[in-house]
Amino acid sequence: MPNCLTLKKSNCKNCYKCIRHCPVKAIRFSGNQAHIIGNECILCGQCFVVCPQNAKQIVDETEKVRVLLQSGNPVIVSLAPSFVANYDGVGINAMRDALQKLGFYDVEETAIGATIVKKEYERMLKEDERDIIITSCCHSINLLIQKYFPAELEYLADVLSPMQAHCIDIKKRFPNAKTVFIGPCVSKKDEAEHYEGIVDAVLTFEELTQWLKEANIELKKEIDKDPESRARFFPTTGGILKTMTQDAPGYTYLALDGVENCIDALKDIESGKIHKCFIEMSACVGSCIGGPVMEKYHRTSAVKDYITVSNYAGEKDFDVVQPNSVELSKQFEFIEHRLQQPSDTEIFNVLRQMGKFKPSDELNCGSCGYNTCREKAIAICQGKAEISMCLPFLKDKAESFSDTIVKNTPNGLIVLNEELEVQQINEAARKIMNVRSSTDILGDQVIRIMDPKDFIEVKNTGRDIRNKRVYLAEYKRYVEQSVVYDRDSHLLIGIMRDITDEENEREKKESISRQTVEVADKVVDKQMRIVQEIASLLGETAAETKIALAKLKESISDE
């Protein structure tokens, strides 16, 4: 995992929003948790921006900066030019006043370093005879090329970023100084850490805002104009081009923002479709004023922020001492990250486990975060994804399981919406009510096939009915019926157990019992007469005999 990004595991809720928005799919899922794959991540910060649970956190370097302030050395801030869009109505002098109250020695604009960098770009175009030049200001784009397009490394301008150029310039002028960059970017923390000795710490605007709040320091609403500040355009899309002369013969000048657009351009370069082109690339849509920390907390308005930067920018370059090309040189190495590509057989086996047996099964819906089912299968083979991330797979599995239960239960099931329209009916219920096919009744009023009285009662009272004996006269069937109201899904569920055979058997037994009782009555009456006649002859009472015969009759009736 990148050192500048951390993950709160307890906050990850399996929503897969981060992988859907990650342009390079540098996130793996294990144990129902998202994990950033450090050597694949380009630190664009999109996962941080879109995470609804705030599970992704940028490592806070505020304490590191506090230590620098206590070191005794002057600590000077290089402030990203996008600050004017993040802090409405606040100019560089107001920012300087506030930051000096925190203990900083001074504050300068990173746009000074941007002026140095753009002059070097102009020199390269005129003197180096390069075919294609891609700007190297955006560290996320640099990582994208280093990790995913190594063949295009030769086109990446081997020039320091404005942050680095400015901090080197500060340390030339103040030999003992420590430098802190403050901006809207996650990747600058990684850039500062990777290229040691240039930038000593990096804070985001959000970290600075929190620090100012804790110190009870309020930023003054004060805008200052400086005609020598054209490089303040750098944090906007096309801002680098806007500061350049664009007069190199034969070159096309192009600005791209958003990782997806940059990837498309890099693929075109790789295929040999682009030549003699100077390309400004920014990972963030809108460039730095659309940076991840600004987007997460500032809720940017692209048009408003561009106008703010444009109004603040001057018409001339900063007055800088231009270093030579060797001092500004920066080398980019290929960063190996690729996992082994699985075989077609391995991919096919995973697709089968996902229920994808033929191309038409591959919906490529993107709900898992991957563009295609095949990409998802490859990620599973590489241990980056789980089969359970496939929503259609889970839906089909759940439906298959429930369908198996519904189809095989001996009880009749009928599901109605609140308008008493049939939404589902299983085979057992169709058999009870002589319905040939589900399509004959689905969507129709239940009154077509049965009396809805019990369903209406349950809906109106909210009290379920359990095991009520009902005679369906039109079908000559007895059922034991339960009606349940599911308020969450707004459905009425009827469960019917066919007890017709039981009821017929009961009636048959009752008929036999009645006949037996009638025979017994006749036998008792006849026997009583005989007994009374005998008793009168013998002079005995018939009371005991009568009682015994009465008990016999009762026992027969009970059966």
Domain identity same for 268 and 127: yes
pLDDT at residue 102 above 60?
Answer: yes
508 pLDDT band, cuts 50/70/90, is confident
Rounded to whole angstroms, the Cα distance separating 46 from 53 reads: 14
Query: Do 397 and 414 reside in the same domain of the chain?
Result: no
Q: Are residues 160 and 248 in the same domain?
A: yes
Question: By the 8 A CB rule, do 179 and 199 touch?
Answer: yes
Q: What is the mean pLDDT of residues 53-60?
A: 85
Instruction: Look at residue 206 in the predicted model and tell me its pLDDT.
Output: 93
> Do residues 466 and 539 share a domain?
no
Condensed to tens digits (0 to 9), the pLDDT of residues 401-457 reads 667 777 788 899 999 999 999 998 999 999 999 999 988 999 999 999 999 999 999
Average pLDDT, the chain: 88
The first and second tokens of residue 434, run together, are 């002589």
Going by pLDDT thresholds of 50, 70 and 90, the confidence category of residue 295 is low
Element (H, E) at 491: strand 491-498
Same domain, 192 and 65: yes
| 349-392 per-position pLDDT tens digit | 888 888 888 888 787 887 777 888 888 888 888 888 877 777 77
Q: Judge if 243 and 384 occupy the same domain.
A: no
Which structural domain, as residue segments, surrounds residue 424? 410-498
What pLDDT does 193 receive?
A: 94
CA distances from 3 to 33, 197, 201, 514 (A): 18, 18, 13, 89
User: In terms of domains, do 476 and 531 share one?
Assistant: no
Q: Are 191 and 143 in contact (CB under 8 A)?
A: no
Tell whether the model's pLDDT for residue 502 goes beyond 90: no
Point out the least confidently predicted range of 96-110, 164-178, 387-401.
387-401
pLDDT number for residue 459: 92
Name the nearest CA neighbour of 448 among 423, 428, 422: 422
The verdict on 414 and 393 lying in the same domain is: no
Measured distance CA(559)–CA(516) in Å, rounded: 9
Beta strands per DSSP E along 116-196: 132-134, 178-183
Residue with tokens 């089909």: 396
Q: Provide CB contacts within 8 A for 506, sequence distance 6+.
A: none
Q: Does the residue 27 lie in any domain?
A: no
313-330 average pLDDT score: 94
Contact 415, 425 (CB under 8 A): yes
Q: Would you say residue 67 lies in a domain?
A: yes
Indicate if 403 and 432 belong to the same structural domain. Answer: no
Note whether 242 and 124 are same-domain residues.
yes
Write the DSSP string, 445-465: BGGGTS--HHHHHHHHH---E
Q: Is residue 7 part of a domain?
A: no
Q: Is residue 37 situated within a structural domain?
A: no
Residue 30, domain member (yes or no): no
Domain count, the chain: 4
Residue reference for tokens 């295009």: 152
What is the pLDDT averaged over residues 19-47?
Answer: 87
Same structural domain, 285 and 143: yes
Tell me, yes or no, whether 38 lies in a domain: no
Judge whether 216 and 144 are in contact, CB under 8 Å.
Answer: no
Query: So what's the pLDDT on residue 1?
Result: 40
Q: Is residue 552 part of a domain?
A: yes
